[in-house]
Amino acid sequence: MLSKKEIIMLKMLYQNRNTYISSKQIANQLGVSDRTARKYVQGLGLILRNHKIGQICAKQGQGYRLNITDQRSFDRFYTEKTNLRPTADDLTTINEANDRQYFLLNQLLFGHKPVFVDDLAADLCVSRSTISNDIVEIKQLLKPYTIELKHRTSQGIYVEGSENSLRHFIMNYFFMNRLQDNLYAFSMYKHLLEGIAIEEIVIIVLDTCRKYFLKLSDFMIYTIVLHLGLAIKRLQSGFEIQLHPQDPELEQEAEYQSAIEIVEKIRQQMGIALPPEEAFYIAIHLKNKLVSETIREQIDLDDNEVKQQLLAVLHKIDQETGFCLAEDPLLIEGLMMHITPLLQRLNNGTSMENPLLGTIKKDYNDFFQLTIRYFSDVPFFAPYTVTEGELAYLTIHLTAAMERLANQQKAKVLVICATGIGSSQMLKNRLEHELGSKIVIEDMISYYEISEQKLAGIDLIISSIKVPDVVLNIPIVTVSVFLDKKDIQKINRQLKQYKIKKQYGSILKQQSKSLSDKERELIETSFHSELFLRIEEETDKSTVMDQLLTKIEDLEKRSVKEALGKQLALREAYSSVAFSDHLAVAHPIEPITNDAYAAVAIVKKGIKWDDEHDQIQLIFLLSPDRLGQVELNKISQLLVPIIENESFRDALIASGDFEHFMKCFIGYHLEAHI
């Protein structure tokens, strides 16, 4: 485990990896002498070499520089040790207005040093006028919250507003959009977590961690809030929570101190007294993998071993059900964080009662039986007897993942009502009861609260009052607060149109075209001669992927190679993208490029992709566009015949150039529809 000073130095070297840093600079950053700083450099260099991920190079008269030798392994190491993604400080990739504004607001609301326009312009590699324009737009974002953006010569730019206003903006801007699916997953457990104010717990967690300068990822927030919600439910249901004394060294850490404060705020603001020991389990989540590693060492398991066993279980469930649980990073991280304290409890011979067991058996029995069938045989549980109550907690993670998947298909609805609270609540209840499987109610507002921010991302407006039907071209259905049958029919008609538009997108306007014409248009939009690569000589995976990434970056005309490469590595960390003995389809977890691309490499002699696939000859690199306007997922469907049809595969591999490849690829699918 790295010391605090080694972590600070690792961040410093990574952020300045393209230049040399003197021992004096390192010493000033660490608050030690030059001689001591050099000892820290030697120690960290030894750790990097032992992990075979890099080295610290020294140059006389210039200082030290980080040299990464295994990028993928280094990224994982850096993330685990610093709780930051390696790209977080690579500010040169921030070149879109929304990204700049996000960065600026992050600095203003979470940074702990003065913010100056010239510094921002230099960091983001843009002009001073560009930053000034961004500031104008940020002022408009802050205005509805009565927060002002001010400037002083010595203080730079800063925000001014009440703490409640700042907290409200932070919740909405930074967290609510990204946590929407997770908070909705909580709402599906209304009857399980009845009476527990989930959003209030979220605010307490965010507020406290902000005070202690702790950075939280989305899955950490989700896991901590779920943990607290279940702990409160256990107490309310009359269960006595008995926790064992924990490592006293952890009590000196900022994570533990913030956890103590979270427990105290819950007592003060919600009137719920959690046991003080509960703070240890919250601290585990806040410490993330640093503490997790210590616990796994105690139970003779490492992080990667637990993750691989977990992925194997999820893949088996996916094979039986057709789900995609093994590709849900939030589910995987959530289960990893839950399994850590669970394994510790099992190792100590204890288990945690689950007041939700009966309800889960009744309402989610299919998922519960899946959990029992597959997780009972997972190797890391083999030495122990795992109770139904403990397994039911894992079921909650699975059902939340499925709800997120289903929720992606639901229309996002904004409900507009008169000011009456009672009638608004009645309409909301009726909508959820009648249409809960088809819609997600994003918010309920009065007519006077309508704003661009409220309308962002909304698919349908349902209003109990007459609203002009020219609101950003969003369809509006006017209904009675009592929501009668005619109202439901009107909404269903509109939802049907929404479903059609979502399924076909811009192709809806071209209904006269045949299916093969649509496929052909998609293929010709995504494939480019500049993204075609044929290699006759022997080569390897990294060389091929590097060439394909370079081609995409050249066509995109901006720096995306590094970010896209890391996304591809992250996707492949979850499961192999080699789908047959000869075909691999690489793709990122999150879109990186502005346009959609389908890059192709034909390697005549084949390459080793992984331990199970050593003769991959066809490589497709699919990079979806960030706005999701091109249905690149349909390209994946068009690749299935390559696996099933040997003649088609051989014909593609024999393609000598891009024109021949396209003729073969399009020709096969045209014939398939004759």
Report the pLDDT value the prediction gives residue 513, as an integer from 0 to 100. Answer: 35
Which residues sit opposite 148 in a β-bridge? 160
Spell out, as residue ranges, where the chain has pLDDT lower than 50: 84-95, 176-191, 245, 288-296, 470-471, 500, 503-515, 673-674
Query: Domains in the chain, start-ordered, CATH in brackets?
Result: 4-89 (1.10.10.10), 92-161 (1.10.10.10), 162-287 (1.10.1790), 288-406 (1.10.1790.10), 411-506 (3.40.50.2300), 515-672 (3.40.930.10)
Query: Are 593 and 560 in contact, with CB atoms under 8 Å apart?
Result: yes
Tokens of 399: 């059902």
Round to the nearest angstrom and report the end-to-end CA distance of the chain: 63
Distances (CA, A) of 207 to 32, 110, 291, 665: 32, 11, 22, 55
Report the pLDDT value the prediction gives residue 183, as an integer from 0 to 100. Answer: 44
Query: Are 1 and 290 in contact, with CB atoms under 8 Å apart?
Result: yes
Which residues, other chains included, contact 206 with Cβ-Cβ below 8 Å and sequence gap of 6+?
Answer: 167, 170, 171, 175, 216, 221
Q: What is the DSSP track for 245-308?
A: ---GGGGGSHHHHHHHHHHHHHHHHH-----TTHHHHHHHHHHTHHHHHHHHHHTT--HHHHHH
Tokens of 95: 């070149």
3-class state of residue 333 by DSSP: helix
Report the pLDDT value the prediction gives residue 153, as an integer from 0 to 100. Answer: 79
| Torsion angle (degrees, nearest 10) of CA 600, 603, 606, 612 | -10
Report the pLDDT value the prediction gives residue 575, as an integer from 0 to 100. Answer: 62
Q: Please state the pTM of the whole predicted model.
A: 0.35
Which residues, other chains included, contact 204 with Cβ-Cβ below 8 Å and sequence gap of 6+?
Answer: 262, 265, 266, 269
Report the pLDDT value the prediction gives residue 179, as an integer from 0 to 100. Answer: 45
Query: Are 266 and 239 in contact, with CB atoms under 8 Å apart?
Result: no
Query: Are 597 and 555 in contact, with CB atoms under 8 Å apart?
Result: yes
Residue 122's identity, in one-letter code, is A
pLDDT digits (tens, 9 = 90+) for 485-513: 888 988 988 886 665 455 433 322 333 33
pLDDT digits (tens, 9 = 90+) for 443-477: 888 776 777 677 777 888 898 887 655 445 678 88
Query: Are 309 and 343 in contact, with CB atoms under 8 Å apart?
Result: no
